[in-house]
A and B are shown apart, each in its own frame.
Chain A
Amino acid sequence: MAVDTGRAVEVGADRTIAGLDALDLAATASGESRLAKVWASAWPKLLALAFVLGVWQVVYWSGWREPWVLPAPQEVFADLARAVTTADFWRAIATTLRRGLVGFVLAAAIGLVLGVAVARVRPLRAALGSAITALQTMPSIAWFPLAILLFQISENAILFVVVLGAAPSIANGVISGVDYVPPLLLRAGRNFGARGLSLYRYVVAPASLPAIVSGLKQGWAFAWRSLLAGELLVIIAQRPALGVRLQGLREQNDAAGVISTMIVIFVIGVLADAVFSSADRRLRRAWGLDQA
């Protein structure tokens, strides 16, 4: 009899817990469809695009500049349609993207190592911490004269400046990621027996991931800017690149070509940003950071 009562009490407790859990979780369901979400984020962008094109068209109609200096939108898009059929156009994109990716990967490797070293080693932080931030404020284009003296007109001159532009942001992302790991998580990790390297692997590294991703995103933006600046200055013969193309078309007074190349550069930038943003968003959603 007493045993039975005991079991009844326990079953009752189970039900209470299950009921409480169900009540707690009821409010977190979301019913919005995927399509609705895509549309919700797409329409403001489409509207902005239409607005820009509209203003451009109106300025063109106003005759503020000669048509050969400021062509109409449809002329530029016709030029773009012609360009995509040429091999040179794709070779230019390929060269620029390759330079960007190589520079970015190298900068990421250097930035990660530098960031971890500065975050861990106290004297290094004192010596390099503020230098890294100072380096970030240096406009990358100011490095080119020195880069050209050091490496002549070569791929390495461009690579040098791209890495110099991107690595500090990436290192700073790592440093702030490591610095802002919640102390409570470190204590929990240490209580589970994580020490030294295993603490880094299981707690510090994953906990700093959001800051590292935003450092990488910023690093890419710096790499891309440095790269395009570099391609305008460091022109290697027989090697089409987007910056070279821009410079060449300006010399031929081909405004439609210049603008269509700019559109390509812009679109690549937007796509790269979308990749980083989606990584960032996925991370934040998985961690429950965007619920506030």
Chain B
Amino acid sequence: MTSVLPAGGVAEQPTDRTAVRLSGVSKVYGRGPAAVHALDNVSLDVAPGEFVCLVGASGCGKSTLLSLVADLDRPTAGTIEVAGGARPGLMFQEPALFPWLTVAGNVGLPMRLRKVSRAERAERVAELLRTVHLDEFGRRRPHQLSGGMRQRVAMARTLALDTPVLLMDEPFGALDAMTRDILHDEIERIWQQRGLTVLFVTHNVREAARLGDRIVLLSSRPGRVVADWRVDVPRPRRIDSPEIAAIAAQVTDRLREEVRRHGS
């Protein structure tokens, strides 16, 4: 059954079981009057195995937040903890595959950097390619694949990091609807099979309702957590189901309210 609980504001029950915890995180770019406050005092707890979708209008610092969690950038204030100190895997809107490597070479690179032996690497690469249904394409070059296939290679490559936490920055934003639907099923299956924790950024509210256990809404400039919904629709879900549409409508209304705040 559908039950949407608007938690509103920040989740205030710290538990021992958190995979990712952001406490009072702020990020300011530049200094003085030209400074841009990308994130302002963001606190967020993500439970292990939880699929959390971050939505917000443009300029809400969603991508900045992921960069901070991925340790590619440092927060101006606040702390970010990732359980076990694991390095989260990051996926972008672009597949960001290395054109000089084959598909298998791309998937194997994170393991090569961890000095995994060649034999073990070959085995793991084959397994990961099977996971994303690309077992026959290991010897191809990225440019010989379609956009959806490339994004699946990127997914396999991120899984090769062997990390329990996956950060996804609008990973399906550049794909057609059909391909996107299928990749929703894929990411859901992989997430469930591997017990991953996912932080998924999107501007597509329906996508968030289709995938998330939770939907977190960020305001824009500065980015703050303004709402936090739990999505209790049983899986498997369909993006075109009435339950998902109802939740999406509710999130969209709140999002529009946020956007209007900037117009006045």
Mark A residues whose CB is within 8 Å of B.
9, 13-14, 16-18, 20-21, 24-25, 28, 182, 184-185, 187-188, 190-194, 198, 202-203, 206-207, 209, 286-289, 291
CB pair A287–B96 under 8 Å, yes or no, is no
Interface stretch, picked from B74-82, B87-95, B118-126, B207-215, is B87-95
Q: Contacts A20-B178, A21-B149; is A193 near B99 (CB within 8 Å)?
A: no
* Secondary structure call for the A interface: helix
A185 to B99 Cα, complex, angstroms = 10
CB pair B148–A187 under 8 Å, yes or no, is no
Q: Contacts A187-B92, A287-B100; is A18 near B146 (CB within 8 Å)?
A: no
Kindly state whether residue B72 has any CB partner on chain A within 8 Å: yes
Closest to A198 in B: B113
Closest to A192 in B: B110
CB pair A13–B185 under 8 Å, yes or no, is yes
What are the residues of chain A within 8 A of B90 when measuring CB–CB? Answer: 187-188, 191
CB pair A185–B178 under 8 Å, yes or no, is no
What are the residues of chain B within 8 A of A28 when measuring CB–CB? Answer: 144
What are the residues of chain A within 8 A of B67 when measuring CB–CB? Answer: 187
- The total of Cβ contacts below 8 Å across the A-B interface reads 84
Kindly state whether residue B2 has any CB partner on chain A within 8 Å: no
Mark B residues whose CB is within 8 Å of A.
67, 70, 72, 87, 89-90, 92, 94, 96, 98-101, 109-110, 112-114, 133, 141-146, 148-149, 157, 161, 178-179, 182, 185-186, 236
A24 to B144 Cα, complex, angstroms = 10
CB pair B100–A206 under 8 Å, yes or no, is yes
A203 to B114 Cα, complex, angstroms = 15
A16 to B179 Cα, complex, angstroms = 10
B70, B94, B133: the one within 8 Å of A14 (CB): B133
CB pair A185–B96 under 8 Å, yes or no, is yes
CB pair A24–B149 under 8 Å, yes or no, is yes
Other A-B contacts than A187-B72, A194-B113, A287-B99, 15 sampled, CB-CB below 8 A, are: A13-B182, A13-B185, A20-B179, A21-B133, A24-B146, A25-B146, A184-B92, A184-B96, A187-B67, A188-B96, A192-B161, A198-B113, A209-B100, A288-B141, A288-B144
A28 to B113 Cα, complex, angstroms = 33
CB pair B146–A202 under 8 Å, yes or no, is no
Q: Would you mind naming 18 contact pairs between A and B with Cβ atoms under 8 Å apart?
A: A9-B236, A17-B182, A17-B186, A184-B92, A184-B96, A188-B90, A188-B96, A188-B98, A191-B161, A192-B113, A193-B87, A193-B114, A209-B100, A286-B100, A287-B100, A287-B143, A289-B99, A291-B143
What are the residues of chain B within 8 A of A198 when measuring CB–CB? Answer: 113
What are the residues of chain A within 8 A of B236 when measuring CB–CB? Answer: 9
What are the residues of chain B within 8 A of A190 when measuring CB–CB? Answer: 72
B89, B145, B148: the one within 8 Å of A191 (CB): B89
